[in-house]
Structure 1
Amino acid sequence: IGLYIVGAVFLGKAFALKSLISTFSYSFFVSLLTYVTTLFPKDTFVMQPMLASIYCGLISGIGLGLCFRVNASTGGMDIPALLIHKFTHISSGNSVMIIDALTVLLGMSTYGVEPALIGVLSVFTSGFAIDKTILIGSSTAINCMVISDQWVEIKNHVLDNMERGVTVLEGKGGYTNESKPVLMIVIPQKMYSNLEHEIMKVDPRAFIIVNSVHEVDGEGFTYELEDLK
């Protein structure tokens, strides 16, 4: 209850209401699924602790990720993790891993080393699943940094033929001390081969740096300019 109040204060009333629904839903489905398991033969769901830990982490991580996507939690220790995420900008999955790993390790004196280490494995699996679930539906893109003497022609190709934006940054060579524009181009992954081909055709000596981008929001990715009119 104390954590729920803290969450309501720092994360908002909408979060508190959704979390309240999630908390009761969580309890209901745990009870329901516990009953369902009694309808199967006794050892149907019994497996090696390591395997159980991995699948427990994946399934619970997907569930938590779905809650986090709509700004909610299942109550309890999810709330400190979300507070860490809000104020430090550490990903939700990593925040949950930090809190849950500390919780599991604190139980080492009670349950022993091996159960604690198996629990930590579940924690890391859950954190991975949370981050992947949160990113479902996001725009996967790449960020290209291009340094070329033919930067104007490359820029015009991106603007006119690919209909994508370009940011021109001011760069300076560390060895030559010469100033040279650097093009920053964010495009969907499927368009990169077209861009690379055109750059190599215009300037085979161009220097290209490509970084993966997990999420892009803005015109051309999550909305078109006409959508705002």
Structure 2
Amino acid sequence: MKFKVKTVGREMLAIVIGNGLTAWAYSWVLVRANVISGGVTATAMVAARLSGWSVTGWTNLITVSCLLVALGFLGGHNFINSIVSSLSYVGWFSVAQAWPPPLSISLWWGLPLAGLLVGLGYALCLTHHASTAGLDVLALVVHRFWPRIPVAHSLRVINLAVLLLGAWQFGLRSFILGLGFILIYTQTLAVVMKRQQRRALA
């Protein structure tokens, strides 16, 4: 029983920390620079422009849909952890928005830093049986049915598809910056996931 409590506690701590890294990176760098970076928020922004519905409404709809997919295909454990993940992200993001940095962060070093932080944050969530309740759920489902396809590769393809739609709506600059960010964070995620798999097999 004590071992189970410790395991659950470690999972929750890793998920909360992972979402903290991700939320601060998005808030302090990507949101301030208006970078479309794939994922739920960018998908909602594009969908809102095409449909006339609100970004908030689309974000909620996509998030709930992703949670339902997690419940249906990834099991109750992942579903519960994903709920904790989404709630901790909202909390961290709100804090980060409330305390913006006093100076503007240069994209020359801010974007790579954000990519590293988001990649590490995603890795902490995914390696502790949680999604971010975002489009990574789809990548996890693909990996479950086709284990040879790494989660990072599927996530890269999904985000690039969103990014292309974002470029159509938000312009070339947003596409180029978003592409750089996606390549950095998915590569970071791939490296961390590979190391984790090697440790598990050792």
TM-score range with shorter-chain normalisation? 0.5 to 0.7
Instruction: Spell out, residue by residue over 1:123-177, the C-alpha distance to the aligned partner (whole angstroms, 9 max, x if none).
Output: 11111111222244554xxxxxxxxxxxxxxxxxxxxxxxxxxxxxxxxxxxxxx
Comparing 83-92 with 57-66, which one deviates more in the overlay?
83-92
Number of matched pairs = 138
**2:141 equivalent among 54, 64, 83:** 83
CA distance 1:5–1:120, change in 2 (3 Å): same
In structure 2, the CA distance between the partners of 1:138 and 1:88, relative to structure 1 (3 Å rule), is closer
8 Å contact from structure 1 (residues 53, 119) kept in 2? no
Please say which structure displays the higher CA radius of gyration. Answer: 1
> How far apart, CA to CA, are the structure 2 residues paired with 1:51 and 1:84?
33
Percent identity between matched residues is: 24
What aligned pairs does 1:137-216 form with structure 2 within 5 A after superposition?
Answer: 139=198
Quick one: which of 64, 70, 93 aligns to 1:7? 70
**Equivalent position of 2:118 in the other structure:** 60
Q: TM-score, normalised by structure 1?
A: 0.56
Note if 1:23 corresponds to 2:86. yes
Amino acid across the alignment from 2:96:
L
Q: Quote the RMSD (CA, aligned, Å).
A: 1.8
Tell me, in whole angstroms, the C-alpha distance in 2 between the residues paired with 1:99 and 1:19.
Answer: 19
**Higher-helix-fraction structure:** 2
Unaligned residue ranges in structure 2 (runs of 5+): 1-63
Aligned-residue offset at 1:67: 0.4
Greater relative CO, 1 or 2 (CA 8 Å, sep 6+): 2
Q: What's 2:188 paired with?
A: 129
Rate the CA distance shift 1:112–1:64 in 2: closer, same or farther, 3 A: same
Shift of 1:32: 1.0
Structure 1: runs of 5+ lacking an equivalent: 140-214, 222-229
TM-score normalised by the chain length of structure 2: 0.63
Higher strand residue share:
1
Alignment of 1:37-56 (within 5 A): 37=100, 40-41=101-102, 43=103, 45-48=104-107, 50-56=108-114
